[in-house]
């Protein structure tokens, strides 16, 4: 269920001053084409398949160095009040439909802008009570046009948004007014039937997904709180009326329905099993096949499964549902009996996979382990061999472990599976020694080392591999481009009667209550005495994988230490990041994401950085690009608002770039 990379304090010693900064080369700008392709960005992931690919070619490797600021829009949801300070993260990727750009803010306000100028057209405010919410995040909204409605009727075109306080809302795309015929005055209450939810424990952070005339939505459930956490149900609502069409209650097949509590107010309302795997990230849709692809999180709580009793059947999986009915068509589990918070946090990417010289409709599913599973879209069967390999055993008392875990072979894993004491990293002999000692004294059996009483190394960590930033796919070059985080954790199961609740808490060390289990979970970032990750850099990379050969085409560090070092030295060591890439037909990759408040353009063939610009705040979001008509400029837009958990510079800017 973990959505956010842990902040990593990169307090570099003065010895870093002797390191040479990397320089980015410049090229002579080529003439700007007035003709060529035009395209919008109607879905969060560019298209319903989540490919993050644009056919645009006005901005090219030859002229990208000439990009300049075109406009900036400020949403204003940045008051440094007690309610919002440190909790908000502006992670939105706008959509562009027709002649309007739509996006949402950390407080779930929805803006409509002129996409050419950034001029505001309307704003809708759902009036979220920020004081009750732990994480204020809205990644995006969804668009739907009713083909049966008269052309000029109210709410023929709708914007759907989910809120952090658990509402699904339909808004007239033209006016910003709620659609009165949807639910109750434009809203559906998502708290119905999920069990008891404490304030801020349950809400929507990712965009709803429309498939035909159904709008589907999952929700985040706060990590590691308790065994009986709110239900992880995924629901499909009628896009016109808001009526519940179906519900996917993620329990093993054959499990009897949960009976509602015997109270008058629950009569006739559905009731879902509590503690189940939720679906907080982004869905994908194949409307032609009527298939909805859902990435799932962990069964509660994340790090102890001794009391799950098989309820984690759909945990850490990609699940294909029938869009009209919610029926499970197939599911593929990426981790068995997950005890590492390795939930599937990336949007499934729907693409044609090259297999033995033919293209097969498939799904690429990146994971936090740095694994990419290539699956048949209609059956879920692996298109290349997936091996069930033995993994470390010896669980803590009361726990069970899966004897094997699935490992893909094409492409091979993109994240190291081991971190030995000899690989400990540091700026000085002293901090390297502190890392080496930790690695030697903690349980350290490689990937899938289970939590232990003495403390276990978890590598990849809880924010490793690819997270909600997801992958981008270039169909012409058959390259899958994705970010990989590489920072280790220490996971310790502490018997409940031995817990010292006064121990430090925060982003580098946390105590998770796991109420209802025998253990409290202590999670730490594995850092040296100087506060630097113990594993060697890069701590964040951008990778391009050739899906035909299965091999890595290139891999480059992503992120400069400029904002983390004592002095602004521009050394590209590669930092933890949050956000994803987009690729264009002209051969460019655009990405923000890193902790250095920078947006970059790279050559998709080589990974060479061709352009970069400083953002007014952390760019922990995925950019988009569009060009609305012949003669117009292609724009690249990214949210720059920082990330509460990563600790990057905060702001409220939506920033657009274009050629002169």
3-state secondary structure 42-62: CECCECCCCCCEECCCCCCCC
Domains in the chain, CATH or no CATH each:
14-658 (2.140.10.10)
Average pLDDT, the chain: 91
79: pLDDT strictly greater than 60: no
With bands split at pLDDT 50, 70 and 90, how would you rate the model's confidence at 26?
very low
Q: Are 219 and 203 in contact (CB under 8 A)?
A: yes
pLDDT score of 497: 94
> Could you tell me where the DSSP H helices lie in 298-451?
429-441
pLDDT digits (tens, 9 = 90+) for 27-50: 454 556 666 789 999 999 999 999
| β-pair partners for 102 | 95, 112
Determine contact, residues 602/609, Cβ cutoff 8 Å: yes
Strands (E), 574-619: 581-584, 588-591, 598-603, 609-614
Residue 390 has pLDDT above 90, yes or no: yes
pLDDT digits (tens, 9 = 90+) for 253-298: 999 888 665 444 445 577 999 999 999 999 999 999 999 999 999 9
Comparing 169-183, 186-200, 553-567, the range with the smallest average pLDDT is 553-567
Q: How far apart are CA 53 and CA 61, in angstroms?
A: 16
Beta carbons within 8 Å of 30's beta carbon, 6+ residues apart: 60, 62, 63
HEC readout, 171-194: EECCCCCECCCCCECCEEECCCCC
Average pLDDT over residues 303-323: 96
**Cis amide leading into 190 (omega within 30):** no
Roughly how many angstroms between the first and final C-alpha of the chain, as a whole number? Answer: 43
Q: What's the pLDDT score for residue 33?
A: 62
Kindly state the percentage of the chain with pLDDT values over 70. Answer: 91
CA triplet 627, 632, 635: central angle to 5 degrees?
45
pLDDT score at 400: 96
How sure is the predictor about 570, in pLDDT bands with cuts at 50, 70 and 90? confident
For tokens 């996971």, what's the residue? Answer: 491
Q: Tell me which residue of 260, 280, 143 sits closest to 201, measured CA to CA.
A: 280
pLDDT grade, residue 568 (50/70/90)?
A: confident
Q: In the numeric block, which tokens belong to residue 389?
A: 């390999």
Residue 103 has pLDDT above 90, yes or no: yes
Q: Which residue has the tokens 């010292």?
A: 500
Say if residues 455 and 521 touch (Cβ distance below 8 Å): no
Eight-state DSSP code of residue 361? E
Mean pLDDT of 488-498: 96
Predicted confidence at residue 266, as pLDDT, reads 45
Please report the pLDDT score of residue 4 as a whole number: 44
Count of all residues that appear for the chain in the document: 660
Comparison of pLDDT for 408 and 80, the residue scoring more: 408
Q: Is the pLDDT of residue 83 over 70?
A: no
Q: How far apart are CA 327 and CA 118, in angstroms?
A: 42
Sheet holding 456-458, edge to edge: 456-458, 489-495, 519-525, 509-512
The DSSP output letter for 460 is S
Instruction: Compute φ and ψ for 506, nearest 5 degrees.
Output: 150, -150
Q: Is the pLDDT of residue 323 over 90?
A: yes
Please identify every residue annotated as catalytic. Answer: 341
How far apart CA 85 and CA 28 sit, in angstroms, is 44
Cβ(585)–Cβ(57) under 8 Å? yes
pTM: 0.93
Q: Are 108 and 118 in contact (CB under 8 A)?
A: no
The answer to whether residue 483 scores a pLDDT higher than 80 is: yes
In this predicted structure, the answer to whether residue 10 has a pLDDT above a threshold of 90 is no
The predicted-structure confidence for 497-525, as pLDDT tens digits, reads as follows: 999 887 766 667 889 999 999 999 999 99
Instruction: Please give the share of the chain, as a percent, with pLDDT higher than 90.
Output: 82
**What's the rounded Cα separation, in Å, for the pair 75 and 97?**
20
The rounded distance, in Å, linking the Cα atoms of 197 and 189 is: 13
Contact by Cβ (8 Å): 447, 459:
yes
Spatial separation of the C-alpha atoms in residues 7 and 643, rounded to whole Å: 9
Q: How far apart are CA 413 and CA 420, in angstroms?
A: 18
Alpha-carbon distances of 92 from 211, 352, 387, rounded to whole Å: 21, 27, 37
Residue 473's SS3 state is strand
Q: For residue 308, what pLDDT is reported?
A: 94
The pair of structure tokens assigned to 336 is 């068995």
pLDDT digits (tens, 9 = 90+) for 408-457: 999 999 999 999 999 999 989 999 999 999 999 999 999 999 999 999 99
């Amino acid at each position: 269920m973990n959505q956010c990379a842990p902040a990593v304090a990169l307090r570099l010693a003065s010895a870093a001053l002797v390191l040479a900064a990397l320089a980015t080369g410049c090229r002579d700008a080529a003439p700007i084409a007035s003709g060529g392709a035009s395209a919008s960005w109607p879905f969060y992931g560019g298209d319903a398949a989540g490919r993050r690919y644009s056919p645009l070619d006005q901005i090219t490797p030859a002229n990208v160095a000439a990009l300049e600021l075109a406009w900036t829009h400020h949403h204003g949801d940045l008051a440094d009040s007690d309610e919002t300070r440190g909790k908000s993260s502006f992670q939105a990727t706008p959509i562009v439909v027709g002649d309007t750009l739509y996006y949402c803010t950390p407080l779930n306000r929805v803006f409509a802008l002129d996409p050419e100028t950034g001029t505001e057209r309307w704003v809708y405010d759902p009036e979220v009570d920020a004081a009750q919410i732990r994480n204020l995040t809205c990644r995006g909204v969804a668009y739907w046009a009713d083909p049966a409605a008269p052309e000029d009727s109210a709410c023929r075109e709708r914007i759907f948004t989910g809120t952090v306080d658990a509402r699904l809302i339909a808004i007239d795309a033209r006016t910003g007014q709620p659609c009165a015929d949807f639910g109750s005055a434009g809203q559906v209450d998502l708290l119905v039937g999920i069990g008891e939810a404490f304030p801020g424990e349950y809400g929507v952070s990712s965009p709803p997904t429309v498939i035909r005339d159904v709008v589907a939505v999952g929700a985040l459930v706060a990590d590691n709180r308790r065994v009986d956490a709110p239900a992880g149900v995924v629901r499909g609502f009628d896009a016109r009326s808001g009526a519940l069409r179906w519900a996917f209650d993620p329990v093993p097949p054959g499990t009897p329905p949960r009976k509602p509590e015997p109270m008058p107010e629950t009569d006739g309302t559905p009731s879902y099993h509590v503690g189940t795997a939720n679906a907080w990230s982004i869905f994908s849709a194949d409307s032609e096949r009527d298939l909805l692809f859902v990435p799932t999180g962990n069964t509660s709580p994340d790090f102890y499964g001794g009391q799950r009793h098989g309820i984690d059947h759909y945990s850490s999986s990609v699940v294909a549902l029938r869009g009209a009915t919610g029926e499970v068509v197939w599911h593929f589990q990426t981790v068995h009996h997950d005890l590492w918070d390795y939930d599937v946090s990336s949007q499934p990417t729907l693409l044609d996979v090259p297999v033995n010289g033919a293209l097969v409709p498939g799904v690429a599913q990146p994971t936090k382990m740095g694994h990419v599973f290539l699956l048949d879209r209609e059956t879920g069967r692996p298109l290349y061999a997936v091996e069930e390999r033995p993994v470390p055993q010896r669980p803590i008392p009361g726990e069970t472990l899966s004897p094997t875990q699935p490992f893909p072979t094409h492409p091979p894993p993109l994240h190291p599976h081991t971190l030995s004491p000899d690989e400990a990293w540091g700026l000085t002999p002293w901090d390297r020694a502190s890392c080496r000692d930790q690695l030697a004294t903690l349980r350290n059996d490689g990937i899938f080392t289970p939590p232990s009483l003495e403390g276990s190394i978890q590598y990849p960590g809880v924010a490793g591999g690819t997270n909600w930033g997801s992958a981008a796919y270039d169909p012409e070059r058959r390259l899958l481009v994705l970010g990989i985080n590489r920072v280790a954790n220490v996971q310790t199961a502490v018997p409940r009667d031995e817990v010292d609740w006064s121990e430090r808490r925060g982003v580098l060390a946390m105590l998770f209550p796991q109420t209802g289990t025998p253990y409290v979970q202590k999670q730490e970032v594995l850092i040296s005495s100087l506060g630097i990750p113990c594993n060697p850099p890069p701590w964040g990379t951008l990778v391009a994988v050739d899906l035909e050969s299965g091999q890595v085409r290139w891999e480059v560090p992503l992120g400069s230490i400029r904002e983390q070092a004592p002095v602004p030295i521009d050394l590209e060591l590669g930092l933890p990041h949050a956000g994803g890439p987009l690729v264009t037909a002209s051969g460019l990759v655009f990405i923000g994401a890193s902790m250095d408040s920078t947006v970059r353009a790279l050559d998709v063939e080589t990974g060479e950085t061709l352009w970069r610009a400083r953002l007014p705040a952390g760019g922990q979001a995925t950019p988009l690009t569009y060009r609305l008509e012949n003669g117009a400029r292609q724009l690249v837009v990214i949210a720059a608002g920082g990330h509460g958990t990563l600790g990057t510079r905060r702001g409220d800017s939506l920033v657009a770039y274009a050629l002169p």
